[in-house]
């Protein structure tokens, strides 16, 4: 009986300690960061090298610049699975996520499984296209932000503009 009591007590302590983590707590909002991100996105709107695309959800627009035109002609759909090389940065240049050619194989995912800004960009790209994409907070992680999921990733504060260099490597046949 004493053994079962010790096991129960250990499980209870583990539960209490694991629930004390702050992963479920909202990220703190930095008003100055929010303003800097909004200003950076607005300023980029006046850059003649960038074009604007309205999101499929109609929640806003992304800005993009074609860095390389690919040879692909096949349409990418909301339900498509793709392989993409990318590097994501913040307006201050901090890299928050990266899956580049130099680092190995491209990342594979379904278009519908990413933030709205990526979904919008991908549905207008073709295999081989390489774009620089600016995603405003409302088409990214919005007022919630995103905690770093793995080592090497940075936490994305609420109201962050996301900047990606992304290249479609392949449309995966399902």
Each residue of 101-129: pLDDT tens digit? 888 889 999 999 999 999 999 999 999 99
Most confident of 5-14, 57-66, 95-104: 57-66
More confident call, 11 vs 40: 40
Give pLDDT tens digits for 120-159: 999 999 999 999 999 999 999 999 998 877 766 788 999 9
pLDDT value for 27: 79
Q: Give the residue carrying structure tokens 């302590």.
A: 13
Our measurement of the distance from residue 99's CA atom to the centroid of its chain's CA atoms, rounded to an integer in Å, reads: 12
pTM for this one?
A: 0.82
Nearby residues of 158 by Cβ (< 8 Å), 6 or more positions away: 26, 27, 29, 30, 34, 137, 141, 142, 143, 144, 145
Tokens of 99: 């899956």
pLDDT value for 11: 44
* pLDDT mean across residues, the chain: 86
Q: Measuring CA to CA, how many Å separate 8 from each of 17, 21, 69, 145?
A: 14, 21, 61, 37
pLDDT value for 18: 39
Is the pLDDT assigned to residue 15 strictly greater than 80? Answer: no
Residues 100 and 15: their CA atoms lie apart, in Å, by 38
Q: Which of 75, 66, 38 is nearest to 133 (CA)?
A: 66
Q: Which helix (H) or strand (E) holds 16?
A: helix 2-19
Give pLDDT tens digits for 82-91: 999 999 999 9
Q: Measuring CA to CA, how many Å separate 140 from each of 4, 21, 116?
A: 48, 25, 6
């Amino acid at each position: 009986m004493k053994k079962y009591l010790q096991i129960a007590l250990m499980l209870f302590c583990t539960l209490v300690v694991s629930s004390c983590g702050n992963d479920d707590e909202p990220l703190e909002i930095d008003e100055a960061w929010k303003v800097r991100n909004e200003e950076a996105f607005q300023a980029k709107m006046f850059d003649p090298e960038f074009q604007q695309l309205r999101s499929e959800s109609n929640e806003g627009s992304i800005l993009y610049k074609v860095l390389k035109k690919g040879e692909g002609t096949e349409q990418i759909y909301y339900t498509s699975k793709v392989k993409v090389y990318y590097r994501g940065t913040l307006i201050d240049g901090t890299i928050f996520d990266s899956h580049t050619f130099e680092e190995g194989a491209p990342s594979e995912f379904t278009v519908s499984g990413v933030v709205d800004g990526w979904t919008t960009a991908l549905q207008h790209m073709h295999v081989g296209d390489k774009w620089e994409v600016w995603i405003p907070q409302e088409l990214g992680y919005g007022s919630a932000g995103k905690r770093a999921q793995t080592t090497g990733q940075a936490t994305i504060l609420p109201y962050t503009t996301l900047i990606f260099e992304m290249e479609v490597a392949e449309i995966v046949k399902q």
